[in-house]
Amino acid sequence: MGTDGTTIAALMSDPRSRDSNKPACQVCELPLPELEPDSALLRVEFSEVCGTDVHLRNGLLSGVPYPIIPGHVSCGLLEKVRGTVRDVEGRTFVEGDRVTFLDVHRTCHACWQCLVAHATTRCPDRKVYGITYGIDDGLTGGWAGHIYLKPGTRVISLDGVPSETYMAGGCSLTTALHAVDRADSASGDTVLVLGSGPVGLSAIALATLRGARRVLCIGAPDARLSTATAMGADGVVNFTEVTESDRATWVMDHTGGRGADVTIECTGVPAAVTQAMRYTRDAGRVVIVGQSTDHGETSFNPHLDLNKKHLEMRGCWGSDYSHFHRSVDILRVPGVAARWSAIKPDRYPLSRVDEALDLVANGKVIKALIIPQP
């Protein structure tokens, strides 16, 4: 924490102008904002480092107004509220409340995407705290002592949900909930999850909770696959140790030779999209949620992999408020929340965010939490 009227933050510089001898982020002291009406100041308890933050450091995302304070999904205590900030059920927040918030701001509810297509995650006006809001927009990232919750930010009470449990899921949980909704598995289905990163792990738990009879996971490394098992996977395979053809055989062996009823791709690897099609049964469904940035192309055979299979593929982009709200609701069930305690996040102070980025980039940790308070 800074001196009176200031806070500290890890500021990420522009990759194009970055001095490669220096870390990507530097801790600095920033003034606390004057609050606009119906806004609030959040004292950050936890923020997180996710794959998106690695992309941010590597300059792989468009529309990022560097320098920025990274950290999109975060939680903490409302330190100051000016005017009225309400939850969606009309309850007024008071200072001291422990909360999280939808990291997406300014969904316009006034454009064709929002109002005609009802595809709000494709609204061009959206700004995301910690990603497309930069330092010029204020204290808009979670790798800081405080976040300025601008008017219109959708705040959610964490009452009944431990902060750590919530952050063990974090942005991956809401993304996975969107993907599992879109996968629309039936009670008793076999669900295959490709990828054992945070999104894959939450998808495993949510698919199990939705009534899958069997959840399979292909991922790596072994430590993550152990977590996958702890979160509900009935079978796991380390793709670094098993050939693609043997992986296909393994899936067929577990699915009566037909392939998974539903496959959820959470890998970030283009070739996995093609594999997802091949590992899924005829007339099954594939959700693609792991291709959050551009890693190039993949090829497939549209006759064999899609048309003749009568297959359905669904891209899944972002999350909206409902996924955050329902994620928190789901974690309010004690037995359910316990699943996410299998993820043991490592904790890093602001001074070590570059190290945390390295570990996430290399898959050395499952989840890295940032603890900005000294």
If one asks whether residue 252 binds its own copies (CB under 8 A), the answer comes out as no
Name which position in 29, 63, 83, 117 contacts its own copies (CB under 8 A): 117
- C-beta of 1 vs 110, nearer to its own copies: 110
If one asks whether residue 312 binds its own copies (CB under 8 A), the answer comes out as yes
Name which position in 5, 16, 37, 90 contacts its own copies (CB under 8 A): 90
Asked if residues 49 and 346 have their Cβ atoms less than 8 Å apart, the reply is no
Task: Name the DSSP class of 11.
Answer: E
If one asks whether residue 109 binds its own copies (CB under 8 A), the answer comes out as yes
Q: 110-139 burial, b for 16+ CB within 10 Å, e for fewer?
A: ebebbeeeeebbebeebbbbbbbbbbebbb
* Closest approach of its own copies to the CB of residue 94, in Å: 19
- C-beta of 317 vs 362, nearer to its own copies: 317
Q: Which residues contact 134 (CB under 8 A, 6 or more apart)?
A: 64, 65, 66, 67, 68, 69, 140
* Closest approach of its own copies to the CB of residue 315, in Å: 4
What is the C-alpha separation between 309 and 258, in angstroms, rounded?
Answer: 11
What is the C-alpha separation between 239 and 245, in angstroms, rounded?
Answer: 11
What is the C-alpha separation between 141 and 144, in angstroms, rounded?
Answer: 7
- C-beta of 273 vs 356, nearer to its own copies: 273
Name which position in 206, 220, 231, 233 contacts its own copies (CB under 8 A): 206
If one asks whether residue 210 binds its own copies (CB under 8 A), the answer comes out as yes
If one asks whether residue 354 binds its own copies (CB under 8 A), the answer comes out as no
What is the C-alpha separation between 23 and 185, in angstroms, rounded?
Answer: 44
If one asks whether residue 161 binds its own copies (CB under 8 A), the answer comes out as no
If one asks whether residue 89 binds its own copies (CB under 8 A), the answer comes out as yes
Span of 33-41, 44-52, 92-100, 322-330 interacting with its own copies by CB under 8 A: 322-330
* Closest approach of its own copies to the CB of residue 321, in Å: 4
- C-beta of 249 vs 299, nearer to its own copies: 299
- C-beta of 248 vs 313, nearer to its own copies: 313
Looking at residues 162 to 191 of the shown chain, list those that interact with its own copies (rule: CB under 8 A): 177, 180-181, 186-188
Instruction: Write the binding mask 276 to 295 for its own copies: x where contact by CB under 8 A, - elsewhere.
Output: -----xxx----xxxxxxxx
CA 162 from chain centre, in angstroms, equals: 18
User: How many binding residues for its own copies (CB under 8 A)?
Assistant: 80
Burial classification of residue 49, based on how many CB atoms lie within 10 Å of its CB (0-12 exposed, 13-18 middle, 19 or more buried): buried
Q: At what angle do helices 353-361 and 51-58 cross, to 10 degrees?
A: 110
* Closest approach of its own copies to the CB of residue 220, in Å: 20
* Closest approach of its own copies to the CB of residue 113, in Å: 7
Residue 265 identity: E
- C-beta of 22 vs 86, nearer to its own copies: 86
What is the C-alpha separation between 153 and 129, in angstroms, rounded?
Answer: 10
Span of 42-50, 71-79, 300-308, 340-348 interacting with its own copies by CB under 8 A: 300-308
If one asks whether residue 244 binds its own copies (CB under 8 A), the answer comes out as no
Distance (Å) of CA 186 to CA 189, 325, 344: 6, 23, 30
Distance (Å) of CA 295 to CA 119, 143, 176: 24, 26, 20
